[in-house]
Amino acid sequence: MLHEPARLRLMAFLSVVKKTDFTYLLNLSGLSRGNLSVQMSRLGDAGLVKIEKSFQANRPRTVYQLTARGVKALRAYKRNMQTILAALPD
């Protein structure tokens, strides 16, 4: 799930903030609205990201945050990648 570059980038962004909204991730990631929406839905369906939808000033607002499962998955991915990279010859 995390090996896909866009999802990994989004998870990394979410790991350094408590919560953030769609617009912030859109601007930071450089993804299209459609791609961002699809990737975040996949992360949400996997239980890695909590998705809160609401309205603010009659406009839809979507807020994301990593779940405990998401934090654990990101840490495990980092450990695995470090092990793989450390095994490569110089």
CATH 1.20.1530.20 fits 5-87, yes or no: no
Q: Are 64 and 49 in contact (CB under 8 A)?
A: yes
Nearest to 38 by CA among 78, 17, 29, 75: 29
The ranges assigned to domains in the chain are 5-87
pLDDT of 24-66, one tens digit each? 999 999 999 999 999 999 999 999 999 999 999 999 999 999 9
pLDDT at residue 90 above 90?
A: no
